[in-house]
Structure 1
């Protein structure tokens, strides 16, 4: 059995026993030709088709009525189609005003002595509706609606998601149960939560506006199923949910801001550390370069000094060698190997400047060689 069939079956079981007295009924047979929607039918009276709007009951709209489909609108239409199949004979009973501004006939519809208007209310598929001065069936329809509420059928059934109570409960519960996140959430997760809660607040605000509008205007709609006290309770429930949602939004926004600030500070710290590391590395490289240059300079200086020293030594040695081996151009070629040779030659003592004078002959370097 489908969900729709279950609702219709439960509603039909609830809608029994409304046996209003059909006084002043239509003399000619009234035959159902078509169900327009949950509270409107077309009947054949003699050779004329008449559209009948059931008095003191307001069922949810369907597309067939030219209005946007409301919650339980299709179910209400199906209930009436099952209750009054084409060809069913009905009796019509009228009130003070027989026609509405659309030209529809206003009547209580009886089938087998039962007031169908009240049966719709007992099924939870229509709300009591009072448009003065027509109040003839209102009390019976109101009692039937109270019976439906007690039995929790139709619009009062908790399992029907599209009804106003279900939507209000779902909207308020969604706001109260919004995920507050944890320490592991990212900034983006908190911001996504803010957006999700904003959607829930928007939905709750739309429901609240609908409730407030219905309460102030008193218009007939599916919300007419519920009392003013219920609406005030639901307004308070939605207000509490919206307040809780906004508080959670503030918490998420604060958490996102704290994460963003922490990330900014961490990024600044990381950047400062990077700059400090680069500076330290540059200083290290500069110090190493300076040290290498110092060592190289010291080495070069040492090498230069060593080279100069070696050159000086070379020059000194060359001079000594020249002094020893070269003979001045004005010096005689006489040479005495020793003082003995000088004495034999009769040249001793040999003075500096004399032919054959040499340092090897002048041991005491007094300028006179072989003086003894």
Structure 2
């Protein structure tokens, strides 16, 4: 049985490192304004910058260029100048695992680390599903939070990712999947056209709202209609409840929001999601009710992990329905995904069905999320860089294997 007596207070993890920009920065993830400023710095006349930015944008985000020499509509002289000052670097694959259900998990090494430093790594997951594909993207190396049921939360917080490192995960996925469809429209009649990566979820390693500016800037690039063009309604940001940045998410990013709720009582949520000690459930629910653009056509998602004899009773289901009253919402019930060292168990399937039926009969969509990638520790709550303890020789061997696949 869970010990429901949490230690007093909530202490956020302190980042162990700061991002140090390389001498030659990557153009990936920069806004149009930032690109224009950099072009001005290398002597591109003001009257040409808008055109040049649009060229770079097209080559980066429509055609997926990885080298400046691929940009044939840009003059050879400018390409040489760009290559002398910048890169188009994105993360590289250290290891790839493929689940029996088709889910792919990539261990990625981030670009731009300085000589002699251990490269930072994150995990990104691709989940194919009936003609569509969801990319689960990380926002931090490690995680700020310490949710007790989550494997990622057991890691240290190394640092926040940059906007370029977040966008770079999307580019890498498209590289790996052969998903560059130059010239195709992003959607037709509301459905993706010939794309493998159709949806983005900020549900990988890290708490996105503790890295708000970089996540915002990255998602605005991803949603830009002249580039990657994944519409905001196909992008979902998941938060454990960083209340001050919830309204900002709606106003400044405009994507769908998912709340990692997992409990309906403060005393239990204090244990499962220790951030609750800072932002209590009542405060979180008010921020959800005030979320810009919330409507029956654009509902908020509440994620609820099913933990045996912890939060899965019918009394919990009744309290959940009461808590969400008046919020246009759907509830994703997530069977707990085990990981080494966890003390929790997944609720019995019969109990999950009873819980779901009660919530559904109360008027809420309550799908039970089919666990994907459990066998490769790629499912919800399982992400954690398995190479944290690998030697340099072992990491090199994994990287060489990935390059030959």
TM-score bin, normalised by smaller chain: under 0.3
Larger Rg: 1
TM-score, normalising length: structure 1: 0.21
